[in-house]
Structure 1
């Protein structure tokens, strides 16, 4: 009987040991080896979602970055601070600037031999140090992150502020950057390792069930499209296409370009959770108002201005996380930056269309994309034929010009755009200029006798 009790006790202890942490624990691994930006945030967010779905015990991020955008780094930081599982970063080989902020947000920091951590001063795209308000914000982020994980907040702040003295690790007036061994001695890193296998040994995970995050072609495409530079180019395509479409009534290719660029701009932002239905709706309303202003309402007034504002807001709001105008801004001036990107792209696209639009429309490559006009002058209709001789000729409005329509000159019909807004059917007009295959006309005023 005693033997049976002993065997039963040993079996209970054996199964209890097997169920303890360190046995068959689930680990989800992913990597960030590029600049911290929308692509890195997209990968990190998807990896975390899949780690939660698989009920992982550990989320391990292999990090090698020289930094990037603070707003996306802060998004990753917030996700790690609020994670439902233990978070681990394996710095292999760099965690500079925004990478340092992300590293401090994890529960465990392990560094490859020869890796470095630190140098987190906020700079602009050209490497110039930004004003104090940005540095103050970054210092606060570093302190708060270090404190949340029980690390030395003053040392974390020294990554940003060169005035903070850390005698044993840096000279006064220099930013703090630590090697792997220095990070371990300073208590910021857990250990210096050479592989993830050593990390699991030090964590006491003897039999990890590892799942490695896989990025698909769609993931890479979305990460590419949400890059701010690519977004700016897409905005130029949207505005440029709309501008050409309104300048050349009946031309469909420019409209297709605008629609395609609009889809490529909004779709990845919508999938990422930035763009919402109402933001896309605001942009569409803006396009409709602009179309009404150009083709229906004489002159340029409230509808046109409201259309521009709606388009600007729809595009800018889509680039910033918000809950119906409740903006979750992760750094000062983020919303203003979005507006500047959109406004700059809009202005640049219009300027380029004004300068190069005429040559573009007349280029052989562009003409191949447009259906050739088969209507002949013998049939009483003339369209898209350069007629410099028509300048200063007087004709009659064959349709209402709002501002575009058709006019008749000596039995021939021509596409025309009114330069003074609205011209009614049957009114006499005079040709002022010929541009982009379209005649521009004004109401004819008979000379005084």
Structure 2
């Protein structure tokens, strides 16, 4: 009987111990920032915090190795971390430069691998050159305010003086951006601060040195934990790819190029289909992510409609056409910008101008490449095999049109559609496809046939008609 009681007591104690351990287990949500910081990283961050809150995680741990990226995306991530209800740690697995430093300083705890680096947050352009001071000023203020957000301690010195010690020194954070700033005992003016792991620990920008995630949690005093790692679905990867700024530029080129080629040829064909597909791929992920609003997409659609009306309905090219072009560019630009940018970023116009620049450059590039490519495409070695190299000379008895077409030169008729430059004319009671020699000819205007080529009539406005 005594043995049975002992077994029951042992099992009960074991059960209670396991229950206590289970209750003491910390859920750690782990996600990576190991790429250039941009819209896709901001999207992954939003997804990470949403999932961490759903599973009631005790810590969000960022595994970082980045050289930086876009300031507006980094600012959004920084703000998300500062406002998070869950403690956020970061493990710098080699580098946290520029925008990566800003995100790291926002975290509650920083751990670094031996040989790691943090800092060098000067804002640069695509060529690596520092941008004007107004951009540096905004970055300095973000770095300073982020460091200040961690607070300070009141310390009484040996001689009775009261001083304040920042948990993360704002002066050091600011000097990571501006080489003109000097911090006594840390850096002289003329140098941007970038800390090694040991230097970061000495100056309060790192809690400890760790080789891996396990050591990070051990140094943080977490003994019992369960790691939940972010898993991206195939759809997540596709959306992340499509919201990349470089891919945006390519899609805009296809949209504008497709519309341009479609307007240069009669009927509906491949260029319009390509433009429609690119439009869907451009707007769909932005809309699903809540970046593009209904009214921004509507602006783009109305712009396209106005351009079509100008070309097919209204003679010439005037207010409707210009308005349509402006609305298309505006729709593409605004859809690229998160509407929170207007509420949270005091320099939001910089973001608007950057997005507009992407749209305009891509549009101009599409038209230039379209014009150049249409002339050069069939001159290449591959496409030249698809075309006839020989010519049929008139002197050898060949003619390129039917005899009745040749006899139509000089005949007069009326344009029954707008010639832009291709369209339809009426001569007698017969209809013919025709092409205007110069510019556009409005519907109902008298025309005269000037020449024929390959069963194609060429006409010009009949000034005597």
TM range (shorter): 0.7 to 0.9
How big is the shift at 1:355?
A: 3.0
Q: Distance in 1 between matches of 2:453 and 2:417?
A: 19
How big is the shift at 1:194?
A: 1.1
How big is the shift at 1:85?
A: 0.7
Q: Distance in 1 between matches of 2:375 and 2:22?
A: 74
Q: What residue number does 2:28 align with?
A: 27
Q: What residue number does 1:240 align with?
A: 257
Q: What do the CA deviations read for 1:370-426 (whole angstroms, capped 9, x no partner)?
A: xxxxxxxxxxxxxx99xx97997544236232645312569772243583441317x
Q: What residue number does 1:422 align with?
A: 442
Q: What do the CA deviations read for 1:196-251 (whole angstroms, capped 9, x no partner)?
A: 11221222222112111112332222222222121111101001101111111203
Q: Distance in 2 between matches of 1:438 and 1:60?
A: 69
Q: Contact between 2:181 and 2:188, CA under 8 Å: does it hold in 1?
A: no
Q: Distance in 1 between matches of 2:353 and 2:336?
A: 11
Q: Contact between 1:30 and 1:47, CA under 8 Å: does it hold in 2?
A: yes
How big is the shift at 1:339?
A: 0.9
The equivalences for 1:335-346 within 5 A come to 335-346=352-363
Q: Distance in 2 between matches of 1:296 and 1:88?
A: 61
TM-score for the superposition, normalised by structure 1: 0.83
The equivalences for 1:128-207 within 5 A come to 128-150=129-151, 151-207=168-224
Q: Distance in 2 between matches of 1:152 and 1:392?
A: 86
Q: Contact between 2:413 and 2:425, CA under 8 Å: does it hold in 1?
A: yes
Q: Distance in 1 between matches of 2:414 and 2:382?
A: 33
SS in 2 for 1:73: helix
CA, structure 1 residues 278+40, in 2 after alignment: closer, same or farther (shift >3 Å)?
Answer: same
- Once the two structures are overlaid, the 10-residue window that deviates more, 161-170 or 176-185, is 161-170
How big is the shift at 1:303?
A: 0.6
Higher relative CO (Cα under 8 Å, sequence separation at least 6) belongs to 1
How big is the shift at 1:428?
A: 2.9
Q: Distance in 1 between matches of 2:310 and 2:50?
A: 46
Q: What residue number does 2:42 align with?
A: 41
| Runs (4+) off by over 6 Å | 13-17, 361-366, 388-392, 409-412, 432-435, 437-440
Q: Distance in 2 between matches of 1:185 and 1:119?
A: 18
**Does residue 56 of structure 2 align to residue 55 of structure 1?**
yes
CA, structure 1 residues 167+328, in 2 after alignment: closer, same or farther (shift >3 Å)?
Answer: closer
What is the number of equivalent residue pairs in this alignment?
419
How big is the shift at 1:329?
A: 3.7
Q: What residue number does 1:406 align with?
A: 424
Aligned residue among 258, 271, 293 for 2:288:
271
Q: Contact between 1:47 and 1:213, CA under 8 Å: does it hold in 2?
A: yes
Q: Distance in 1 between matches of 2:215 and 2:89?
A: 13
SS in 1 for 2:285: helix
CA, structure 1 residues 32+409, in 2 after alignment: closer, same or farther (shift >3 Å)?
Answer: same
CA, structure 1 residues 167+433, in 2 after alignment: closer, same or farther (shift >3 Å)?
Answer: farther
How big is the shift at 1:364?
A: 12
SS in 2 for 1:26: strand
How big is the shift at 1:358?
A: 5.1
Q: Contact between 1:60 and 1:89, CA under 8 Å: does it hold in 2?
A: yes
SS in 2 for 1:313: helix
- Once the two structures are overlaid, the 10-residue window that deviates more, 262-271 or 27-36, is 262-271
Q: What residue number does 2:463 align with?
A: 445
Q: Considering only CA atoms, is the larger Rg found in Structure 1 or Structure 2?
A: 2
Structure 1: any 5+ residue segments left out of the alignment? Answer: 1-9, 367-383
How big is the shift at 1:164?
A: 2.0
